[in-house]
Amino acid sequence: MAVNGTSAQGSSGAATVAELVQAQWGDHRAGAKYGDLVLTHHELAGGAAARAALLGELLPRGAPPHLGVLLGNVPEYPLWLSAAALAGAAVAGINPTRRGPELARDIGHTDCALLITERALLPLLAGPGLPLPPERILVVDDPAYRELLGPYEGATPGEIAAGRGALCTPTPASRMLLYFTSGSTGAPKAAVCTQGRLAAAGHALAGQLGVRRDDVHYLCMPMFHGNAVIAGWAPALARGAAVALRPRFSASAFLPDVRRYGATYFTYVGRAVQYLLATPPAPDDRDHPLRRGFGTEAGSVDAARFAERFGVRLTEGYGSSEGGAAIQRTPDTPPGAIGRPAPGGDLAVVDPETGDELPRGRLDPAGRLLNGDRAIGELVNRGRSSFEGYWRNAEATAARTRGRGEGRVGAGWYWTGDLFFRDTEGFFHFVGRTDDRLRVDSENLAAAMIENILARYAPAAGVAVYAVPDPVAGDQVMAALALRDGAVFDPDDFVAFLAAQPDLGTKMAPRFVRTMDALPVTATHKVHRVALRRAGFRCPDPVWWSPVTSAGPAPAVPAGSAYRPFTAEDRSALLALYRAHDRAALLDR
């Protein structure tokens, strides 16, 4: 049975992204919306075919068929993704917030033989070190680009599939994406995603989220990152839904865009949700067609606030960027949990040092974790994994699967690098990244768990928790609070708030509190924890602290007992203590 010239069987059972693109041909419904521009699915498929034919001419034979895409979320982005799929090429998403040698490194590391960009981003490519000559850079809003593309405008997906212009016949094993993971240290790693894995992810998420052909997916997260492509574009492509594009995220433009495009679904990261909640409330906040948001790290407090204000449920999902582990939401998943393991995975929460599976997390009636010190560990997949490695980084690839320690504990498992606990009913709860672990007085803590508690503090619009080294051993807890407009930090009020939180463990109260107007964020709108951690208490914003006053065997005054301003004299004395214990270098880690 065909609908608008599209085989429903071919689309739903497509094993490659190329097949999904071909299934668009003949479908004259709206497929992409951008400002006043509307492209049908048929036009998208034809545009992709023309670009695939051009790729066949421009990409050198004998080299990896890779092209870099340095664009905002404009229609050319999904067109080039589709073109690469048809041609059997791979797209490397290039981050426009990178600069100079870092940007050149990303392009060179992924062996891009061609770069697609726009005039507004050309200044980023100025200077020495760019691994591409000017003739290998296509500027999509330059008249010369249209002239170059002109001779190929008549190409069809069928002709590409039959061999015209294709570099190879795409298979499920063909590389499709090389997208950089946002690691906290070192150069970003380019994770490989094949056509088969991306198509399968699109099918799975479309089914899990109930995506319909008449849906419109609002793509406001950057498409150089896996969030927008894997969780936004791919499910829309798999179901024949439309996408609406915004060049970059804007909290003030969010609802106007949703209404203008009739958007029913969007993807998010936690910080973007905080931006939306920080906009002034309006009586028509629920006047929109949105049904669902899907993303990560919103936190239960912000998710509840979002649902109450906008009438939209946020569904937290989990699938490691590298494809090594996935958790699916089921109808019986309780609030705050992500779900159960996807089929084929053997997921467990283990002690990262020993590999031993940890006890189940116990929750009180309000859903608060009671034994986080024993239940929180690293999520591993002990079964079949779809991890496809990092491009040109065998060491990092091996580190994901070869276990830990001299005895190689857990060799053959996929180690996610993420902190979770599993409740007594078997549901998995995301806690944070392993980089966000703190060790306070020999007790392991997770920053995200403390953040979820501090998010209840009414004057705070945003919260980030991170470790600063203790002057003697381990870590101390520091919190950055982005205060709401007009709010001031009252230390006595904050102490009273901490005392009223029943799930705040004895080691969780912040030793330092930094107050600021807004939290720093990365290009993907995640809190820039590396910048916060490196600044620590040596920052320009006001810092309050609960100093350790014990100088002898008596127990020290616990953090959170009282706060006072952290003065220049305090800073000098504390830095001297770090130097005395030879730990000053840790402040710059």
Q: Are strands 414-422 and 318-319 parallel, antiparallel or unpaired?
A: unpaired
- Note the pTM of the prediction, 2 decimals: 0.77
Of 289, 290, 307, 309, nearest to 298 (Cα)? Answer: 307
Q: Are 67 and 89 in contact (CB under 8 A)?
A: yes
The tens-digit pLDDT sequence of the chain (589 residues) is 222 333 333 345 799 999 999 999 999 999 999 999 999 999 999 999 999 999 999 999 889 999 999 999 999 999 999 999 999 999 999 988 787 888 899 999 999 999 999 999 999 998 778 999 999 999 999 999 999 999 999 999 989 987 766 678 899 999 999 998 754 445 789 999 999 999 999 999 999 899 999 999 999 999 998 889 999 999 999 999 999 999 999 999 999 999 999 999 999 987 788 789 989 999 999 999 999 999 987 777 788 899 999 999 999 888 877 889 989 888 899 888 899 998 888 999 999 888 999 999 999 887 778 888 789 899 999 998 889 999 999 988 988 988 877 778 889 999 998 889 999 999 999 877 776 777 776 566 778 878 988 999 999 999 999 988 888 767 899 999 999 999 999 999 999 999 998 778 778 899 999 999 999 988 777 888 878 988 999 999 999 999 865 333 334 567 778 899 999 999 999 999 888 876 776 786 6
* CATH class of this structure's domain 2-199: alpha beta
Is 340-437's fold the same as 441-588's? no
Q: How far is CA 276 from CA 99, 214, 517, in A?
A: 28, 25, 16
Predicted confidence (pLDDT) per residue in 145-162, tens digit: 999 999 999 999 989 987
Reading the block at residue 316, the tokens are 């937290």
3-state secondary structure of 355: coil
Distance CA 399, CA 414 (A): 9
Give the SS3 label for residue 94.
coil
Has domain 441-588 been given CATH number 3.40.50.12780?
no
d(C-alpha 170, C-alpha 173), whole Å: 8
Bridge partner residues of 68 (DSSP)? 92, 115
CA angle 331, 335, 336 (to 5 degrees): 120
- pLDDT on residue 523: 75
- 3-class state of residue 114 by DSSP: strand
pLDDT per residue as tens digits for the range 173-214? 999 999 987 544 457 899 999 999 999 999 999 998 999 999
Multiple choice CATH, 340-437, 1.10.3720.10, 1.10.10.10, 2.30.38.10, 3.50.50.60 = 2.30.38.10
Q: Which helix (H) or strand (E) holds 204?
A: helix 195-209
Place of tokens 């094949």: 194
- The CA distance from 299 to 527, in Å, is 13
What are 12-41's pLDDT values in tens digits?
Answer: 579 999 999 999 999 999 999 999 999 999
What's the angle, vertex CA 138, arms to CA 134 and CA 141, rounded to 5?
125
DSSP one-letter string for 142-182: SHHHHHHHGGGTT--HHHHHTTSS-SS---TTSEEEEEE--
- pLDDT tens sequence across 250-306: 999 999 999 999 999 999 987 788 789 989 999 999 999 999 999 987 777 788 899
Segment holding 412, helix H or strand E: none
* Domain locations along the chain: 2-199, 340-437, 441-588
Three-state DSSP class for residue 242: strand
The residue length of the chain stands at: 589
